[in-house]
């Protein structure tokens, strides 16, 4: 009799009860997991905080150490910079790092802007990251910065939308500090300057297979944008990139 | 190919260390882009001032200066054109870094000679006033020649200073009440009396 009861209406109750029990058990386990994870995360945060605090000086002054620290952060899925501007109160990371790392990159960004602004007439707003680095590191009494630091600092400026960005041409990183985009032809021509320092109508025509008119047009464009300097004391005229001033 | 020599090249032991821009071929071509030209102008002015300071050149006569190594890089075979050079000096004059000398050259319509102020007259005035104080020459009467060439100015930055520049510097001191021109009986300017900075 009692066996048969299992298939009656009451069976639904039983079933539900069992399901409820499983569910309770499941949530208990989940709770335990969450609290364990929270504990682990807190421990981890504390460890990272201790690490960042005790090594703040090295993070600021040693480019290799800084690079490793930033790599470590991105490996665990956090960007110490990206989260900094997210909320007004100062992000978890800004608090964690005592704003030292953020300040480092923002101060660097300001110095980069200053250099680009000062040299804009000379180079039309396109400058090799290496040149910027050399200028920054020529100032004595400051810890040296790396190419990577500069690229990272420039990327922090992207949300400002003032046309600052990294452009990669001929396997070299350039900082573009004018809003104007390079046309495809301009980019190719600038890349070509990286081989000899200069280009000419003939060089573009012979190496890229462009029509003469197309070569002349792109060179005139580059001159008008201030991206190249003309040397008229040679035939054919040569168009030099100011990044070649050494 | 003529050999280019700056006027004081013989008295210099080491030659002027040219900056890297000097080896950039287009630097010697006047740039057609206005902004690039602005930048080129300021690079040339700085170079000219540094070169004159290093070689203690007080004035530039365009017709001879155009042959100096300053405006001719033999290594890359590039030379600045006379009219570009004049344009650069014009802009230096506008900024107060130089001054055209009137009536110079054969062609009166075109300026040919300029004083180069690698220090402004006000700066020279301060340096001379400090020198007067530190050498105890307050209330002394000195001739212009003694200031520029005397024993006490041997190691001074204004040693051999151009008389036109010296006179301008003294004018600054006179306006400040720190010096006075002394005239001889026949009305010639005989010397200058300093009152010190107090």
- Backbone Cα Rg of chain B: 19
- Report the complex ipTM: 0.81
More confident position, B140 or B17: B17
Q: What pLDDT, on the 0 to 100 scale, is given for residue A26? A: 84
Does one domain contain both B187 and B148?
yes
* pLDDT tens digits for range A75-112: 666 665 554 444 444 455 555 555 566 677 888 888 89
pLDDT of the residue at B3:
45
Q: How confident is the model at residue B33 (pLDDT cuts 50, 70, 90)?
A: very high
pLDDT recorded at residue B1 = 41
For chain B, the average pLDDT equals 87
Neighboring chain B residues of A232 at a CB cutoff of 8 Å: 29
Distance CA A93, CA A84 (A): 7
Tell me the two tokens of residue B58: 């007080």
Rounded-to-integer distance, Cα A92 and Cα A96, Å:
6
User: What Å distances lie between residue B80 and B5, B17, B72, B97, CA to CA?
Assistant: 15, 18, 7, 20
Domain total for chain B? 2
Predicted local confidence at residue A173, as pLDDT: 92
DSSP for B34-61 reads: HHHHHHHHHHHHHHHHHHHHHHT--EEE
Query: Would you say residue B87 lies in a domain?
Result: yes
Residue ranges and CATH numbers for the domains of chain A are: 55-76+88-180 (1.10.10.10), 184-244 (1.10.10.10)
The C-alpha atoms of residue B168 and residue B158 are separated, in whole angstroms, by: 13
Same-domain check for residues B129 and B102? no
Closest listed residue to residue B138, CA positions, set B197, B192, B196, B177: B196
Domain-located, residue B1 = no
The string over A158-170, giving b where at least 16 C-beta atoms fall within 10 Å of a residue's C-beta and e elsewhere, is eeeeeebeeeebe
Last residue of a domain, one of B88, B116, B144: B116
Q: How far is CA B73 from CA A153, A168, A223, B21, B77, in A?
A: 39, 33, 24, 11, 6
Concatenating the DSSP letter of every residue in A53-120 gives: HHTHHHHHH-HHHHHHHHHHHHHTT--TTTTTTTSTT--HHHHHTTTHHHHHHHHHHHHHHHHHHHHH
Q: Is the pLDDT of residue B182 over 50?
A: yes
- Same-domain status, B105 and B130: no
Phi, then psi, of B90 in degrees rounded to 5 = -55, -45
Confidence band of A180 (pLDDT split at 50, 70, 90): confident
**Does A196 lie at the interface with B, CB-CB under 8 angstroms?**
no
* Nearest residue, CB atoms, A230 vs list B32, B35, B43: B32
pLDDT tens digits along B64-111 = 999 999 999 999 999 999 999 999 999 999 999 999 988 654 455 567
Spatial separation of the C-alpha atoms in residues A218 and A182, rounded to whole Å: 11
What is the domain extent for residue B127? 121-194
Do B62 and B135 belong to one domain? no
| B145 and B108 in a common domain | no
Residue B159 sits in a domain whose CATH number is 1.10.10.10
pLDDT class for B19, splitting at 50, 70, 90?
very high
CB contact under 8 A, A229 and B79: no
pLDDT at position A6 is 58
Q: How many CB pairs under 8 A join A and B?
A: 56
Indicate the Cα dihedral angle A214, A215, A216, A220, nearest 10°: 100
User: Considering B98, B116, B134, which residue would you say is the last residue of a domain?
Assistant: B116
Mean pLDDT of chain A: 82
Could you tell me the CATH number of the domain that includes residue B84? 1.10.10.570
Nearest-CB residue to B35 (from A121, A231, A244) = A121
Among A226, A233, A244, the residue with its CB nearest the CB of B35 is A226
Q: Do B39 and B109 share a domain, yes or no?
A: yes
Query: Quick one: B129 and B53 in the same domain?
Result: no
Dihedral sign (CA A189, A227, B32, B45) = negative
- Chain B residues whose CB is inside 8 A of the A119 CB are 39
Cα–Cα distance for residue pair B48/B44, rounded to 1 Å: 6
This prediction's pTM? 0.73
Of B116, B143, B178, the domain-final residue? B116
**Record: contact B25-A120, CB cut-off 8 A:** no
DSSP state of B151: G
| pLDDT tens digits along A24-35 | 888 888 888 888
Quick one: B93 and B167 in the same domain?
Answer: no
Distance from C-alpha of B170 to C-alpha of B176, rounded to nearest angstrom: 10
Range B133-161 burial, b when 16+ CB lie within 10 A, else e: eeeebeeeebebebbbeeeebeebebeeb
The pLDDT of residue A238 is above 70: yes
Whether residue B2 is contained in a domain is answered as no
Has residue A192 got a pLDDT over 50? yes
Distance from CA of A86 to the nearest CA of B (A): 39
CB atoms within 10 A of CB A28: 10
* Position B193 pLDDT exceeds 60: yes
């Amino acid at each position: 009799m009692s066996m048969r009861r299992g298939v009656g209406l009451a069976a639904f109750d039983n079933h539900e009860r069992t399901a409820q029990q499983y569910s309770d058990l499941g949530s208990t386990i989940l709770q335990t997991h969450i609290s364990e994870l929270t504990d682990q995360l807190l421990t981890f945060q504390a460890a990272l905080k201790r690490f960042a605090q005790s090594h703040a000086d090295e993070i600021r002054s040693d480019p290799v150490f800084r690079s490793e620290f930033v790599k470590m952060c991105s490996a665990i899925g956090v960007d110490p910079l990206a989260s900094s501007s997210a909320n007004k109160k100062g992000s978890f990371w800004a608090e964690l790092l005592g704003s030292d790392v953020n300040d480092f990159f923002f101060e660097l960004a300001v110095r980069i802007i200053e250099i680009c602004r000062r040299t804009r007439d000379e180079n039309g707003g396109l400058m090799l990251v290496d040149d910027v680095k050399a200028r920054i590191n020529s100032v004595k009494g400051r810890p040296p910065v790396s190419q990577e630091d500069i690229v990272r600092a420039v990327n922090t400026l992207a949300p400002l939308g003032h046309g600052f960005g990294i452009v990669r041409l001929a396997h070299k990183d350039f900082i573009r500090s004018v809003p104007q985009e390079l046309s495809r032809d301009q980019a190719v021509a600038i890349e070509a300057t990286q081989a000899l320092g200069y280009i000419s109508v003939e060089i573009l025509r012979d190496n890229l297979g462009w029509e003469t008119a197309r070569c002349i047009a792109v060179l005139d464009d580059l001159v008008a944008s201030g991206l190249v300097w003309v040397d008229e004391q040679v035939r054919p005229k040569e168009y030099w990139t100011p990044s070649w001033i050494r | 190919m003529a050999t280019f020599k700056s006027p004081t090249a013989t008295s210099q032991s080491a030659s002027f260390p040219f900056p890297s821009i000097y080896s950039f071929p287009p630097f010697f071509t006047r740039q057609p882009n206005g902004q690039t030209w602005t930048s080129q102008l300021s690079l040339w002015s700085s170079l000219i001032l540094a070169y004159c300071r290093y070689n203690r050149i007080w004035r530039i006569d365009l017709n001879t200066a155009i042959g100096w190594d300053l405006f001719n890089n033999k290594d890359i075979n590039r030379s600045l054109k006379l009219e570009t050079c004049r344009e650069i000096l014009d802009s230096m004059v506008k900024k107060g870094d130089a001054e055209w000398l009137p009536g110079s050259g054969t062609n009166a319509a075109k300026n040919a000679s300029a004083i180069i102020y690698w220090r402004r007259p006000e700066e020279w005035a301060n340096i001379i006033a400090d020198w007067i104080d530190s050498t105890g020459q307050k209330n002394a009467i000195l001739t212009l020649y003694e200031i520029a060439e005397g024993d006490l100015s041997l190691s001074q930055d204004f040693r051999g200073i151009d008389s036109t520049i010296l006179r301008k510097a003294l004018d600054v001191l006179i306006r400040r009440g720190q010096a006075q021109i002394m005239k001889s009986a026949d009305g010639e300017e005989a010397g200058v009396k300093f009152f010190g900075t107090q």
